[in-house]
Amino acid sequence: MVNCKGTVWVNGNPLPDDSAIATGDLVQTAKDSAATITASGSSVIVQPESVVKFATDTLSLEQGNISVASSTGLVTSAGIASVTPAASTWTEYEVTNMNGVIEVLARKGDLKVNCGKEAVALTDGMQVTSDISGRCKKSKTSGAYPPASGDILNNPYLRYIGGAAGIGTLIWLLWPHPQQPVSASQP
């Protein structure tokens, strides 16, 4: 099934709304458009200006960028590279194919990436780049900042600020306020 946002073509024909697709179908997105392909246990977001060929257990990224989330071990190929989840557990990853340069980013779960002449294993947050030579260049992405730790209420300054704000609010609520008319025409 394909869900569309914007202009999406399947086998060169415009897709009006959500539609079913079959093995061998080519899904293409326009600029400022996206498509979500859902299949049993998998969801693939096809980013703007991307072309993907769909098969039952595999995807072929011809150009552009896709985000894959799968629990069924969905295999993705791009150029001479292929991406295979290491296990049939929930896996999330991104694949980009731009001008023959393939980038794979493991978001969640382990991946096996075959660049053509060599293969590498990726874990969460790892990235690999491959070009037409078939060599892999592995790197760690910077990712998000780590979550904060500690108890915020242990900070003595914040305790005093919070107490002062509470006392100020209490005084304002208890202070007598003169009755103001709702409107000037009807006092």
Eight-state DSSP code of residue 19: B
Residue spans per domain, the chain: 2-140
Q: Is the pLDDT of residue 148 over 70?
A: no
Tell me the CATH number of domain 2-140, given options 3.30.2090.10, 2.40.50.100, 3.50.50.60, 2.60.120.1440. Answer: 2.60.120.1440
Number of alpha helices (DSSP H) and beta strands (DSSP E) in the chain: 1, 16
pLDDT for the residue 11 = 92
Tell me the pLDDT tens digit for each residue of 76-109: 999 889 999 988 889 999 999 998 899 999 999 9
d(CA 44, CA 54): 10
**Are 40 and 75 in contact, with CB atoms under 8 Å apart?**
no
Provide the mean pLDDT of the chain: 85
The model's pTM is 0.72
Tell me the pLDDT tens digit for each residue of 5-44: 889 999 999 987 788 888 899 999 999 999 999 888 889 9
pLDDT for the residue 76 = 93
Q: Is the pLDDT of residue 150 over 60?
A: no
Q: Is the pLDDT of residue 135 over 90?
A: no
Average pLDDT value for residue range 159-173: 84
pLDDT for the residue 88 = 82
Helix (H) or strand (E) holding 77, with range, is: strand 75-78
pLDDT for the residue 110 = 92
pLDDT for the residue 55 = 83
d(CA 144, CA 44): 23
Q: Is the pLDDT of residue 184 over 80?
A: no
Tell me the pLDDT tens digit for each residue of 33-70: 999 998 888 899 999 999 999 887 889 999 999 999 99
Q: What DSSP string describes 141-164?
A: ---SPPPP-S-GGG-HHHHHHHHH
